[in-house]
Amino acid sequence: MRRPEAGAFAAFIITYLFFALATPGTGFVSVNGTAGWLNLASELGIVAIPVGLLMISGEFDLSIGSTVGAASMILALGTNHFGLPIWPTVFLALAAGAAIGLANGLAVVKTKLPSFIVTLATNFIVIGGTMGISRLLANVTSSSIVASDSAKFMFAARWGQANISILWWLVVAFIGYRVLSRSVFGNWIFATGGNLDAARGAGVPVQRVKISLFVATGVAAALVGIIQGVQWNSGNSTYGMGYVFQAPIVVVIGGVLLTGGYGSVMGIVLGTALFGVISSGIFYTGWNTDWIQLFLGSLLAAAVLANNYVRRLALTSR
Amino acid sequence: MTQPLMELVQVDKSFGSTRALNAVSMKVEAGKILCLLGDNGAGKSTLIKVLSGYHQPTAGKLLFEGRETRFASPREARQGGIATVHQDVGSIPLMSVGRNFFLGAEPVRGRWPFRSIDTQRANKVAVEQMQKFGLTRVRSGDQLVGTMSGGERQVLAIGRAMYFGAKMLILDEPTSALGVKEASMVLKMMRVARQNGVAIVFITHNARHAMSVGDNFVVLIQGEVAASFARGEKSREEVLNLMAGGEDMAELEEDLEQID
């Protein structure tokens, strides 16, 4: 019970069993059913991991939604309107994600304003900018993407019902785990979020930690935009708007403290998987999908309470 | 007499038109505890910040190991071997003892990209150091620092600074928030540090704590050195009077009685 992911693990098992038992014979537990909820979780999961690391370092990023849309539009305009080959355009989209992250990071670190507000502003600036520029250049706000076979394989390959995004999720999760739990930089992330002054006093470059994480978040969001764009063969400025709050929600469900300084990648992965199970499980029950929101909201409330409890437990002496 | 580790000569520090420090001269010697006393607003925090490189003196000289020095930043002072342990304790409650101990100087093993923190070594060294300083209650480096008491955290912070080769420790009110037992643990720790030849600047409000470990004393009043003396040269009453801003403590007590 002392580990940050303990609550998410229990909630995942209970929820999974609930849907498995409530939907007998519908195929929820089948290979295809499993691929279904993993697909749903994976794209959110790719961006939730850096968002979670950023929250552990004490900052929010609400600009991920518009970054996803912007990346998909860069791909669409680049390949369709300007006739660029796909791969350079992919790197351009990733660079745009990095640039948005860098702008967020610099703005938060230099102005010392709450990142909640700074990145909320960025979210609107980026989506507005994407739509405006797309209209100016091509008079559209969504457009189709021309992808090569190699790009289609890397971002949209499918095995049965399972998308390649699940692999991307695993890769990002593995990197996230190595960074947070094993690397020196990970120690700095915890320290920056746990006690900023103490971290600075110990020589941790706290500004660099935060800016790096903002950049990583921007790149991850752009990757999701690329995956979605290639998968659906089109770019759209409004892709990813759902992630703005879904990502922080699954991160908190995964046991990351809102105040920073505590959490784990395993927890974030479990929180995201839980989101996938609920979103997909509701379909199998045949209930109205409106209930998803209610489920998520209740889980979030329960998670915040549980996190506080786990934190207190962790701080009591044995 | 041996050369002091750090010496301030006629140091002034002004912020705009306000003068926070006025012609402060003092010597910090290796293997000695210098107690810095003074009421709130006497300029203690400004002086600490000058010693630790946060502020640069407006005028006057700062000599470190005999050479005139100007620390451009706290980092530079730290590299020179000056460690500051703050009142609010520079530790991170939700991180383990081992991770806290080595924060900013983590031991690593393996090759990039599989290089990782050597948690085992970090935990082992951290616990060894804590035991050496008498913290027998800390047995596992995985224990979260938040489970330790305020005094234990001070000891951790001081032990950490010493392990990383601090020549001079600046302790900002390390005992003020602690109970009697906890405070005596920290005072003992300061004695250990002194035996190891570390120069200590001990900032405190508590005359009893100061008298119990101090070798030299400097009293600041309104940014100036009001008194500077060695152990045994002044009685506790005199020290208390000086700390109260030069007013007679007895007079103060009379005043208070009149109010009643």
In terms of CA atoms, which chain A residue is nearest residue B54? A201
Instruction: Give the contacts of A256 (CB within 8 A, at least 6 positions apart).
Output: A4, A52, A55, A56, A262, A263, A264, A267, A268, A307
Is the pLDDT confidence value at A215 over 60?
yes
List the single residue in B with minimal CA-CA distance to A204.
B104
Query: What pLDDT digit, counting tens, does each position of B188-213 carry?
Result: 889 989 999 999 999 988 888 998 99
Which residues from B are below 8 Å from A182, CB to CB? Answer: 116-117
Q: Is residue A178 part of a domain?
A: yes
pLDDT at residue B1 in the model: 56
How far is residue A283's CA from residue A213's CA, in Å, rounded to a whole number? 35
Q: Compare CB distances from B144 to A178, A188, A315 and report the shortest one's residue.
A: A315
Distances (CA, A) of B41 to A47, B37, B45, B225: 49, 11, 8, 13
pLDDT beyond 60 at A236: yes
Query: What does the alpha-carbon distance between residue A34 and residue A276 come to, in Å, rounded to a whole number?
Result: 10
Would the pLDDT of A189 be above 80?
Answer: yes
The residue with greater pLDDT, B168 or A6, is B168
Domain annotation covers residue A32:
yes
Reported confidence tier of residue A7, pLDDT bands at 50, 70, 90: confident
Cα(B224)–Cα(B203) distance, rounded to whole angstroms? 16
Residue A296 reports pLDDT greater than 50: yes
As a whole number, mean pLDDT of residues A175-179 equals: 96
Q: What is the C-alpha to C-alpha distance for residues A244 and A67, in angstroms, rounded to an integer?
A: 10
Rounded Cα–Cα distance for residues A62 and A121 (Å):
9
Q: In this complex, do A187 and B89 lie within 8 Å of one another by their Cβ atoms? A: no
Strands (E), chain B: 6-15, 18-28, 33-38, 59-64, 67-68, 82-85, 108-109, 116-117, 168-172, 199-204, 216-221, 224-230
Question: Can you name the residues that pair with B38 across neighbouring β-strands?
Answer: B220
DSSP B96: B
A22-79 per-position pLDDT tens digit: 988 888 999 999 999 999 999 999 999 999 999 999 999 999 999 999 999 999 999 9
Q: How far apart are CA A295 and CA A280, in angstroms?
A: 12
Report the distance separating Cα B63 and Cα B67, nearest Å. Answer: 5
CA distance B4 to B199: 9
pLDDT at B245: 63
Pick the residue from chain B with its C-alpha nearest to A318.
B147
Of A178, A198, A318, the CB nearest to B92: A198
Q: Per the domain annotation, does A218 fall within a domain?
A: yes
Domains in chain B and their CATH numbers? 6-89+201-259 (3.40.50.300)
In a domain, A13, yes or no: yes
What value of ipTM does the predicted structure carry?
A: 0.84
Q: In which residue ranges of chain B is pLDDT below 50?
A: none
Is residue A101 over pLDDT 60? yes
B177 part of contact set with chain A, CB < 8 Å: no
Contact between A53 and A216 under an 8 Å Cβ cutoff? The reply is yes
Q: Is B89 on the interface with A (CB under 8 A)?
A: yes
Q: Judge whether A150 lies within some domain.
A: yes
Is the CB of B144 inside 8 Å of chain A's CB atoms? yes
Of A186, A194, A203, the CB nearest to B92: A194
Query: Are A183 and B104 in contact (CB < 8 Å)?
Result: no
* Interface residue of A56, A183, A197 to substitute, partner B, most B CBs within 10 Å: A183
Q: Is A318 a residue whose pLDDT tops 50?
A: no
Residue A133: closest CA among A73, A48, A57, A206 = A73
Q: How many domains does chain A have?
A: 1
CATH number at residue A262: 1.10.3470
Domain of residue A76, residue span: 6-312
Query: What residues are paired with B225 via a beta bridge?
Result: B220
A150: Cβ–Cβ under 8 A, 6 or more apart, which residues? A87
What pLDDT, on the 0 to 100 scale, is given for residue B247? 61
- How many Å apart are CA B122 and CA B78, to the nearest integer? 21
- Residue A93 maps to a domain: yes
Nearest CA in chain A to B52: A201
Q: Is A1 among the domain residues?
A: no
In a domain, A260, yes or no: yes
The gap from C-alpha A111 to its chain's centroid, in whole angstroms, comes to 25
Among all chains, which residue has been given the structure tokens 């230099």? A110
- Is A317's CB within 8 Å of B84's CB? no
B197: left (phi over 0), alpha (psi -120 to 50) or beta: left
